[in-house]
Amino acid sequence: EDQVTQSPEALRLQEGESSSLNCSYTVSGLRGLFWYRQDPGKGPEFLFTLYSAGEEKEKERLKATLTKKESFLHITAPKPEDSATYLCAVYTSGTYKYIFGTGTRLKVLA
Amino acid sequence: EPEVTQTPSHQVTQMGQEVILRCVPISNHLYFYWYRQILGQKVEFLVSFYNNEISEKSEIFDDQFSVERPDGSNFTLKIRSTKLEDSAMYFCASSVSVREQFFGPGTRLTVL
């Protein structure tokens, strides 16, 4: 069965304290891995798409990387406005749906 | 910047009633989706829709649910005979192809 696991569940950082979020996946044929940001009571906001192992994408303080079994979302020198839940989702072969992880709730303290 | 819109933002209904949740996908997108998120839980796939028909549905999407694209812009999710456990955020999403999806702000459904 296809599965996506995110860790940690929650993370508290001081402003400027860099860290990484993990998304591990077990799927039958990865077609794409996606990172989203979700603020409370809002819909997921698209951040990155990764398609193959070794691929990296960057946007401001965020950098996403992909291996054959997991993806990392690196947050460099975070600010309080980076506080949100970060979601990982995968597309697998032969489907039209995302499988989401449970997310990592990030809190950045000033 | 084009975005997915959803109405209403909050729907309160009595158990056993029917509700229709509405979505306007991004105009040049061809694939449409509904997901739900029960409070504190992960986002769950319900159904995908392409070329005026359902392309995939989850085990959650049983006979209680239906989707429709009544015109060239709207995409609706109908829930018949609502149950308490249907209370959740319902998100509509759309995509150009089978890749990144763009989500709407959601409709919070509360079943009393």
User: pLDDT tens digits for A25-74?
Assistant: 998 888 899 999 999 989 999 999 999 999 999 999 999 999 999 999 99
Structure token digits, residue A20: 């990484």
Mutate to test the interface with A, among B24, B35, B41, B43 (most CBs of A within 10 A): B43
In angstroms, the CA A5 to CA A15 distance is 26
B83-97: average pLDDT = 95
In angstroms, the CA A32 to CA B64 distance is 31
Residue A95: the pLDDT is: 77
Residue A59: the pLDDT is: 94
Of B41, B91, B99, which is closest to A43 when you measure between CB atoms?
B91
A82-108: average pLDDT = 92
In angstroms, the CA B32 to CA B75 distance is 8
pLDDT exceeds cutoff 90 at A97 = no
Q: Please give the share of chain A, as a percent, with pLDDT higher than 90.
A: 84
Q: How confident is the model at residue A1 (pLDDT cuts 50, 70, 90)?
A: confident
pLDDT exceeds cutoff 90 at B70 = no
A44/B108 touch (CB, cutoff 8 Å), yes or no: no
Q: In what order do the strands lie in the sheet with B75-79?
A: B5-7, B19-24, B75-79, B65-68
Q: Which residue has the higher pLDDT, A91 or B11?
A: B11
Chain A contacts of B108, Cβ < 8 Å? Answer: 41
Residue A28: the pLDDT is: 83
Least confident of A16-20, B53-57, B97-101: B97-101
B45-59: average pLDDT = 92
In angstroms, the first-to-last Cα distance of chain A is: 41
Of A32, A42, A102, which is closest to B105 when you measure between CB atoms?
A42
Residue B7: the pLDDT is: 97
C-alpha pair distances (Å), A102 with each of A1, A14, A106, B15: 16, 23, 13, 28
pLDDT exceeds cutoff 90 at B9 = yes
- Mean pLDDT in chain A? 94
Of B55, B104, B108, which is closest to A96 when you measure between CB atoms?
B55
